[in-house]
Structure 1
């Protein structure tokens, strides 16, 4: 078993550091200091091994039950070799055998293997990197070493592969073990460190420097004053250097003080500075104290003289930068010349530059005799340049500007002011309007705008709260009579204000406190169950029915926006491809942005109401600011033609909406179009989608109760094509075009008046 060794630590090269007893129970022999001492591990990882003597090691090595592993040694060491043994006692490897084996292996791998040359035997141990902290040790392994020799040796030369530096292993291991396994201090404090400079008067001892402030937590409460000074300087000085730019701070002049302006450098070393202030009585009346963490403040003080130097340096740097980049290095101040002198100078300049006896020009003499001299001096303290002027006469100061008289105070009209005082002073708060405002915590789901091609995809067939953009927010509803906008056939509309936490780019809630319209469905409750006319009361549906109805309203708006986009895409494409522009303007309208709002219980205000559960549902829509325009219903869902007369406001727009129905009917394959066009001339609301009877396939609840399917099935018979439908560039099939429609269009265009239309009616009757 020459190629195996026992699983152990430091086998042949281990020696006893002191006298000890062999750990083998049957031996218990004494191992003297410097004799071989072997460590043999046990088969159980959790149990410690044994340090045994040389005979016991031989016993374990010969025991068949001892686990062995292959050795990586390239040379056989004689067991139990003495520490004083020479390197010549070791058996050298057979170089010829190595060369033959390597050559044989290479001949199998390549055709022309490189020659193998036996390297000389390395007698020294491995190269070991020694930490720089050990270089100053007295044990250098040289002839000048004065330290104790290697254990078990008479000189400083250790076993092969080791040097005298390895003797420091135990000391270094103990030192690093203490650092590694040291528990963090249980008693810590918080310290806030800031930078200030001296000044600010007696009450204000220091002035903060910029925003330089840093907090430190987990500081050992036993830290002394020198430790606090080092901590404060290490924290603040780097920040102060960044703040000062290129200024050279003299850190050795800085002073570290506490909040009471006490200089920490005068405090004793190795005495906890803040620890006593953290002690407090454990309980009232008790004499024992306990530690309680606190926060303390330290300030790094910049002396006043050094701060003045910094300010001068900064001012000089700013002035140098300004002179280089904006103005010349020397600025000469030219004094003001009196008007009489200036006129004479101008006269001489106009007469020319006549030469005098001394060779100077006349104009030069005039200027030299009249104009004051100007000299430039430079301050020695700073690089500021000052100008001084001297003159043989006094220069008058310019005349002062005459003060402009303030505008006359305009008193208000007495009669008007009296009326306003009477109205403004006698106004009272409308309690019903204030108490009628209802606040709701909601989740708002915006109805998106998607092209018809996206609606053909599976997840976009209909409006869904799963795919819609949503946000949390607050809704305020004005339920007072003043906040009621109107009552329709199926819904009520109130004024509201919406604020969302994540506002969308467009639509309700895009701005804070956005004014909107709040709609809810209702049903009429008459005086008796058999009565269907007369006065009635507004009653709300149950939560399930209300949610179902408003979801259908949101889904109808979802499809209406898509069909209207399809209509304008068709119009724009036809107009762009036409050689001539259309003979009529194309109105541009859109449907309001809207969405569903689910309100939740904010508390157990109702028996059985669970906090956080859904309480009510609202349909929120963009507020239509009509600027005085009337709310108009242009087309009814039971007809495919304009609902209003030709001489009424908005008739031409109603004709255009009838034309859009023609486009939608044709582009959807005669399956669907939008009806119930209503709103203003720019914004539309409450649309209805009408579908062909083949779409419902026996289901009666397609797009709600307003879906009159017969309107679609009879569209070609009832729709009267107008000027939009007949324009050749659109290429639409003309279904019905009577003379009456042509005359109505002519009247709407202003070609004939109402009298002409009346005459036409009489002629047809005759």
Structure 2
């Protein structure tokens, strides 16, 4: 009788029980009784991890996965092989006798060559002043007995393997993001200079001195290119780790900066005290920071350079930049030696200018200023002919995309912190409202003919918002800002045709639903901010065993209201449309927009081997924080988005505080909230931050 087949699949964690258990596939949850025929045991392909018990449906799903192995029991065959091997060893226990036999050469030993004197002959006076005589007779080398030609490479091979032994382990590396920042007065951290950022893979044992040399080598030429060769003293600039804003110049320059920080146990559950290097999952930003005085000096120098180029161009027939800029202008640049000595030659240069030039000179950022004419280069004639043929014809399709432009009132969703929401004196901030004193006027253009998504009750289109007075933060800080425009819809049954019809809500109903969605996002931003404040209150975040903390936030958003033109006999305009505007989430493919946790369960939706499973585990960990710290009253669910931005959350509240009221949105289901303690499975984040069991 053949033995039953065994199924081997990939799992990362497991909890076994000899009692009625829940199907151990994360997205199932069916209860299986002991002895149930629908209860199947699935072996783990990793022998170091335990097996799992799943239901019949999940068992069939696992069989269909491409990485699942199905094979018979080979324990009996392995025992036979071991027995035969032991028998063979007993029969022939005599060790093999080996000897080295010299290979007989196929040549005879020739007579030794005659001796050749390397010094002048004593009986020949003419040779006394000449250099020593070199023998022209050829020397014959003979191959020793018992060796082959390969032995001649022994020395080189030994040297190669010896040098390779001292190389660093390729796995002991770290990802860096090299940047150039400049200080901004009144701002804690610097601002990126013209997007000067470059990723780099370096050995984990790199020192602060090595980091400075690396960033000067990689980013120095790029900085010189975008600043027209301005001589920044890179060797004297502060070198900082951007996130923690640590000045590496104050640290030991010859000790590894990252290596000891990321030494830890192979697994935080193991009792073995052996420490190994654990590469961080997130690249670390290292930046050279240009001090504010040096950056201001560069701006002044750049403006004066543009002024000289413009004057020289108007008075000369040449269009060459190199001919327009004299060498004396370049000597006006502030060098490294001047800053070391505390001198600023730019002050003298500014004093020499007239007061009229100083007042009329614009103070604009360098990236927005106009440059002189480009250097002269003859055009490619074949390419010019093709471009003329194409560019000489009008493009009648350009701008043909229908954009509905509407004048709207915009209300930004900017919630306070959770503690401010609980302040009795700030009770007016407890929910999102559209108050007239916070309205911003502007125009909203919507690409209505092309939908970028459709959910259960909302549609999403691409749009552009432009406010008359640009805001300082959030949406509306720039002109024609790209946004996602969301509106609600509902399904209606067509009684005559029996088909489902999709239609918009009435204006009052739509306004109410959008405000409810905005209030959802309003509270979600505050609750998520509270979760991060709890996490960052720990002083163990820099420990090498601490799990990586993703930098997540909800999208910036607001409500836009379009009013209908009032009738001639009425002075009051009524609301016609209400939109929910959200920050556009840039993705290269649909796979980059992920739903991490559903509002119907408290477990990750992603498989254990998914690349973004760690983010789903982190979000489940934040649910644990919110449920625990709120006194089992509230947590966030239906979490979805990218690895940076989240959208469309759901506030889950206890039925005890609702008292029959419809709180937040329709996804706030009381029965699901009450199942949270049973469904939540603590992960590595819960263990590291020592959250209590539910």
| TM bracket (short chain) | 0.3 to 0.5
Q: Flag the structure with more relative contact order, 1 or 2, with Cα contacts below 8 A and sequence separation at least 6.
A: 2
TM-score (norm 2): 0.42
